[in-house]
Amino acid sequence: GGPASLSRFRGALVAAVLGDCVGGEFEGAEEVPMESVLQHLNSLDDETKGNGILEYSDDTAMARCVVQSLLTRAGFDERDMAHRFAKEYSASPGRGYGSGVIQVLKKLSSPQLSDVYQPARDQFNGRGSFGNGGAMRAAPFALAFPDPADVKRFARLGAMLTHSCSLGYNGAVLQALAVHLSLQGALDLPQQFISRLITEMEEVESNEAARNDARILKEAEKPFCERLHRVRDLMDRSKVSIEEVISELGNGIAALHSVPTAIFCVLHCLQPWECLPENYGGLERTIAYSLALGGDTDTIACMAAAIAGAHYGIEAIPQSWIRCCEGAEDADINAERLHMLYHQS
């Protein structure tokens, strides 16, 4: 499809759910042989096996709240979104939430709360969380707002409801920007794609709060920019091992150690590789490769798949995978609604 086509919207939202559901299998695993990944993915195609449905985790649970809030309010409403996060958590607390964010979600359910951003600010002795929980649910912001200034602003505010450290919410801004650009067809020119992300993040990270957090955490002056430069260096190389990707970019639960990694997975899988089946298209390659990195596999696959899905469109997603994943059909319906909202504004 062309820029911002319905197929791209559906691809982004549905693939994100698949990444989360399929990636849950390996979450937290240190080493994941590609053989195990392919075995897991093959089992999804095998309808005779009568596989149980793969459940979604916190990534999708919170993304669904973001989507419902953006649709119901026809834009960003922090109180409504916060309320939905809290309600969702209390209805299904067993979705694999990060151990810190649970405190925020409990406080957000209090009717006395006047500032919905305060519980997030109180996290980790007032430093706020740098986890990837804001980034994992950021894709819908790119599907609701056509203007990149709105995408950046609302992805940041949406993340700040739980993640007040700039290394947390700027990860959400980066993820939303990547989906935004992919939706426009920017992945047709991968070098330009990464350059545009670097240019955008140069600006996003050039403020006092970001500099301060980076200094305290002993990171580079502009941590996400530095990581994106590493992504670009890895892209330029003909051969890159999984170990190098993990050591250069990370595979952990910090936004800094997972959002640039997810972006790399998408870029790396634009072309076929020997280690991946020939019959796989780009979207399948992206998900398989994300899982093979190990670590926070559900979240990295969820973020990478959202970016890749916006590029390849819904047609690239195997039907059998969709049927296996809880919430994939809902995501498809919601993508159509977001597409309407996006083209209204």
Query: Does 58 participate in binding Mg ion (rule CB under 5 A)?
Result: yes
Pick between residue 53 and residue 216 the one whose CB is nearest to ligand 8NA. 216
Amino acid letter, 209: A
100 makes contact, choosing from ligand 8NA, Mg ion, none, with CB < 5 to 8 Å by partner type, with ligand 8NA
Q: Should residue 88 be labelled a site residue for Mg ion when binding is judged by CB under 5 A?
A: no
Distance separating alpha carbons of residues 230 and 248, to the nearest angstrom: 7
Q: Looking at 299, 304, 307, 310, which residue binds Mg ion (CB under 5 A)?
A: 299
- Cα-flanking dihedrals φ and ψ of residue 131, to 5°? -65, 170
- 314 binding partner (options ligand 8NA, Mg ion, none; Cβ < 5 to 8 Å by kind): none
Closest among 253, 272, 266 to 308, alpha carbons compared? 266
Residue (172 or 181) nearer to ligand 8NA, CB: 172
52 by Cβ neighbours in 10 Å (0-12 / 13-18 / 19+) ranks as exposed
3-class DSSP assignment, residue 99: coil
What phi and psi, each to the nearest 5 degrees, are found at residue 109?
-85, -5
Residue 22 binds what, of Mg ion, ligand 8NA, none (CB under 5 to 8 Å, by partner type)? none
Window contacting Mg ion (CB under 5 A); options: 49-57, 62-70, 111-119, 163-171:
49-57
* Alpha helix stretches (DSSP H) within the chain: 6-23, 34-45, 58-72, 78-91, 101-108, 118-121, 123-126, 139-144, 148-160, 166-183, 190-204, 208-216, 223-235, 242-249, 259-268, 282-292, 297-312, 319-324, 328-344
298 binds Mg ion (CB under 5 A): yes
Only segment of 41-49, 174-182, 197-205, 289-297 that touches Mg ion (CB under 5 A) = 289-297
Q: How far is the CB of 3 from ligand 8NA (least distance, A)?
A: 30
Which residue reads 């809902």 in tokens?
330
Contacts of 186 (CB under 8 A, 6+ apart): 192, 193, 196
User: Is the Cβ of residue 209 or residue 340 nearer to ligand 8NA in the bound state?
Assistant: 209
Looking at the Cβ atoms of 106 and 337, the one nearer to ligand 8NA is: 106
Q: Is 131 helix (H, G, I), strand (E, B) or coil?
A: strand
Q: Which is nearer to ligand 8NA, 99 or 279 (CB)?
A: 99
CB of 88 to ligand 8NA, least distance (A): 13
Least distance (Å) between residue 16 CB and ligand 8NA = 13
Q: Is residue 251 within the footprint of Mg ion (CB under 5 A)?
A: no
Residues in the site for ligand 8NA, rule: CB under 6 A? 27-28, 57-59, 96, 98-101, 124, 127, 129-133, 136, 165, 253, 296, 298-299
By CB under 5 A, tell whether 170 contacts Mg ion. Answer: no
Q: Is 57 among the residues that bind Mg ion (CB under 5 A)?
A: yes
Q: Which of 25, 200, 284, 296 is the binder for Mg ion (CB under 5 A)?
A: 296
Cα–Cα distance for residue pair 228/217, rounded to 1 Å: 18
